Amino acid sequence: MKIIPAIDLIDGKCVRLSKGDYGTKKIYNENPLEVAKEFEDNGIEYLHLVDLDGAKSKRIVNYKTLERIASKTSLKIDFGGGLKSNNDLKIAFESGAQQITGGSIAAQKPELFKSWIQKYGGDKIILGADCLNRKIATNGWLKTTEIDVLDLIQEYEKQGIKSVICTDISKDGMLSGPSIALYKELISNTKIQLIASGGVSNIEDLYELSALGCEGAIVGKAIYEGKVTLKQLSALC
């Protein structure tokens, strides 16, 4: 299972939120590159980089930070947050993202998102399926739709998507354990490579997600709050 640390960006700084609430912002480091290099130094290969300013602004914002991390580390970066146009995607890839994650766009402008899958391929485009009580949330989780998470994933599986990052918003940043029952259902009903996100609180959670059959697991607050050490994570890489 891929271990994928997360760096969430606001104003170019490394932050974490609870349940996606911008009012709960906590700054962990003013220099995200420093954090990324520490991940790399501990044998970690992957990075999930989220542009929270972009998610709110509906356009890419923190691409300079993406560029710095991509040019000064060898981390394989998937980048998401605010990617709404062909130009946003072009900037993200030119700035060094190896993959992009599309969340809101997949729910709100399916034809555009499908065109990205066709142009770049299912290996480059990840579906971001962020949900609250199974319903897909958009725009930095500020809005909730009536779309069921399994329906969305199955639809895009038909379109050639290979990987899905699924976040249960009620778990995100809460250090209360991942949404095991939901992930079990998604894995049972699709052939998708599922990347679990939200709620990881200790190393045992990662073993459980791996046993479940998850392709990867994103770890955020557990790292920054010292619940999981980089040494523990490097042993799993």
> Pick the catalytic residue: 8, 78, 168, 205?
8
Instruction: Quote the CA–CA distance of 27 and 9 in Å, as a whole number.
Output: 9
* Nearest alpha carbon to residue 59 among 104, 1, 5: 104
Tokens of 44: 């970690």
Extract the runs of DSSP E, i.e. beta strands, from the chain: 2-10, 13-18, 21-29, 46-51, 76-80, 99-102, 125-132, 135-138, 143-148, 163-168, 193-197, 216-219
Q: Which letter does DSSP use for residue 42 in this model?
A: T
Q: Is residue 8 among the annotated active site residues?
A: yes
Inter-residue long-range contacts of 118-121, CB under 8 Å, 24+ positions, other chains counted: 118/160, 120/89, 120/93, 121/160
- Name the packing angle between helices 149-158 and 110-120 (round to 10°): 40
Q: Is residue 151 among the annotated active site residues?
A: no
> Pick the catalytic residue: 53, 78, 130, 205?
130
Distances (CA, A) of 199 to 32, 52, 98, 137, 192: 22, 18, 25, 17, 21
Q: Which residues are catalytic?
A: 8, 130
